[in-house]
Structure 1
Amino acid sequence: MSSPQRPVASAAEFPPTLREVMLRGRWIGMLLLCLVVAGVFAWLGQWQLGRAIDTNPPAPGATEKVLPIDQVVKPGAYLDGPLVGQRAETSGSWVPGDFLVVSSRFNDGVEGYWVTGQLRIAGTAKPTSLAVAIGWAPDEKAAKAAVQRLEKTAEGSVLTVTGRLISDEGPVAPPQDQPARMDRMSPAALLGFWHDTAELDVYRPYLASGAPLGGLDTISSPAPEEHSSVNWLNIFYAVEWAIFAGFAFYLWYRLAKDAWEREVEEFEERNSAAD
């Protein structure tokens, strides 16, 4: 005589497993979406990492080699970061009437004034000018006296100027009682005071001259510090993108698990009510 068989429990008598919930169409679709999002984050991280390491950094002391200005930057173009402080030279003549004083200029910790000029570059097809910081004076009276001396020798003389190229500091509004006062070295601001600027090309950076004129002192302009070829900020961003990619998968897992836990709770509540 055969022994009686136990009744087989139906699937409805047991709650779904986490694996069964994750394999449902809805959650497979969510997983595919997370894969796309994680892929975008991974690509952004790789792009950020590629920018974190300079594979072709400037050679040590590269900024100390004097280059023709047109090999460093073009008129109207911004100065690339590695070229800030690059020594450069150019030839031209001063534009009379455009020697201007910029205040709040420090020379080795001492506050004073710069005398600046508009240098009209020689040999260009279109009129082109470069703002030049010519030299430093300890007070405004000495700066204005230097302007008068420079005006006397400016007309028609062509000279070669050598110095460091530095980015525009950006203009600021002058005090209301001193509309002509300038506290920033900004070619954009100087342009507003220059003469003969019709159809003029202008260099965005300025040149801090290494050979003062008009009885001025040399502007203190040391060589820029050499930077590491590794940009740690970009590496930090790359790590952040990797974390975001991992979080996309964690979010999918957490949502699927929450759905599974709700189904288990509902199953247990139904069984309790049936009992």
Structure 2
Amino acid sequence: MLRGRWIGVLLLCLVVAGVFAWLGQWQLARAIDTDPPPPGATEQVRPLTDVVEPGQYLPEPLGGQKVTTSGEWVAEDFIVISSRFNAGVEGYWVTGQLRVADRTSIAVALGWAPTREQADAAADALAGQGATEVELTGRLIDDEGVELPPADDVFALTRMSPAALLSQWHDVEQLDVYRPYLASLTAPAGLVDIDSPAPEEKSPVNWLNIFYAAEWAIFAGFAFYLWYRLAKDAWEREVEEFEDAHA
């Protein structure tokens, strides 16, 4: 182990172990949230513009945050989404495009209906009111992603996705859109309030990152074991060769 060759290998293992130790420290730093949001923070109503900007992803701690905003409905864009559950019962959501600023919109889930007929009737009633001004309070929720529609109805939607709704909205040229959508806390006439409970409080400790940090520490230790094992194997070969030559 004191030969120059094996001292060089040891130095290489020290570099590798140092890199692994740094990665472990990085994972450990990410494992503990030193500034978690206070309990009940999502239940404090905040202005929409203070929480997220158009086109930005919703930060994880702010998922389900109650916000308030005002704007004008686009009368042509009340769209029904199927496969929506309210207190375990399957039904439909009526959604709309709310213009909260010049060339800026957010997708809103207004309310739930148990049948398609009721949802369509509510959407038609809202469209008949025209471009009305409203003030809304609701929860910000991440985009659910898009899903391929059935072949017999290419406009059918089963997920609340602002990106998918944007493809069916009107007057969208140069339009800024919020990535999350707003689930209104109060439904308009003809619809039922959407069941949107407060999000569960998350632990400030991320155990998965702690597990990764422990893995990096094991890898660092393995680098030294590998050096010891290689050196010992070389020594054992030399001993065997010496004994064979002596014999």
What TM-score bracket applies, with the shorter chain setting the length? over 0.9
Of the candidates 189, 192, 199, which is equivalent to residue 174 of structure 2?
199
Please tell me the residue identity of whatever aligns with 1:135: G
- Aligned residue type for 1:44: L
Is residue 46 from structure 1 mapped to residue 22 from structure 2 by the alignment?
A: no
Q: Which residue of 2 aligns with 1:17?
A: none
| Alignment of 1:74 onto 2:86 | no
Q: Is the 8 A contact 1:149 1:214 kept in 2?
A: no
User: Alignment length, in residue pairs?
Assistant: 247
- Out of 73, 86, 89, the residue aligned to residue 68 of structure 2 is 89
1:237 aligns with 2:212: yes
Q: Once superposed, which parts of structure 1, at least 4 consecutive aligned residues long, lie more than 3 Å away?
A: none
Choose the corresponding residue for 1:116, options 75, 80, 95: 95
Partner of 1:15: none
Q: CA deviation at 1:214?
A: 3.6
Paired position in structure 1 for 2:144? 169
Identical positions, percent: 68
Give per-residue Cα distances to partners, 1:17-71, cap 9 Å, x unaligned.
xxxxx11111111111100000000000000000010010000000000000011
Aligned partner of 2:160: which letter?
Answer: M
- Residue of 27, 31, 40 corresponding to 1:61: 40
Task: Give the Cα–Cα distance (whole angstroms) in 2 for the partners of residues 217 and 24 of structure 1.
Answer: 80
Deviation of 1:154 (Å): 3.0
Aligned to 1:185: 160
Alpha-carbon shift at residue 111 of structure 1 (Å): 0.3
Cα deviation 1:107-142 (Å, max 9, x = unaligned): 000000000000001xx3x41000000000001111
Given that residues 87 and 165 in structure 1 are in contact (C-alpha distance below 8 angstroms), is that contact kept between their aligned partners in structure 2? yes
| Structure with max Cα Rg | 1
- 1:149 to 2:139 alignment: no
Give the partner amino acid of 2:113: A
Show structure 2 runs of 5+ residues with no match.
none
Cα pair 2:146 2:161 within 8 Å, conserved = yes
One-letter amino acid of the counterpart of residue 85, structure 1: G
SS in 1 for 2:69: strand
The answer to whether 1:134 aligns with 2:110 is: yes
Indicate the SS of the match to 1:154.
coil
Is contact 1:38-1:248 (8 Å) kept?
yes
Q: Aligned partners of 2:116, 2:189: CA distance in 1, in Å?
A: 14
Output the CA distance in 1 between the equivalents of 2:221 and 2:105: 53
- SS at structure 1 position matched to 2:156: coil
Secondary structure at the counterpart of residue 112 of structure 2: strand
- Pairing 1:260–2:235 present: yes
Q: What is the TM-score when the length of structure 2 is the normalising length?
A: 0.99
Q: TM-score scaled by structure 1?
A: 0.89
Helix, strand or coil for the counterpart of 1:76?
coil
In the alignment, the residues of structure 2 paired with residue 120 and residue 104 of structure 1 have an alpha-carbon distance, to the nearest angstrom, of: 26
Q: Do 2:75 and 2:129's aligned partners in 1 also have CA atoms closer than 8 Å? A: no
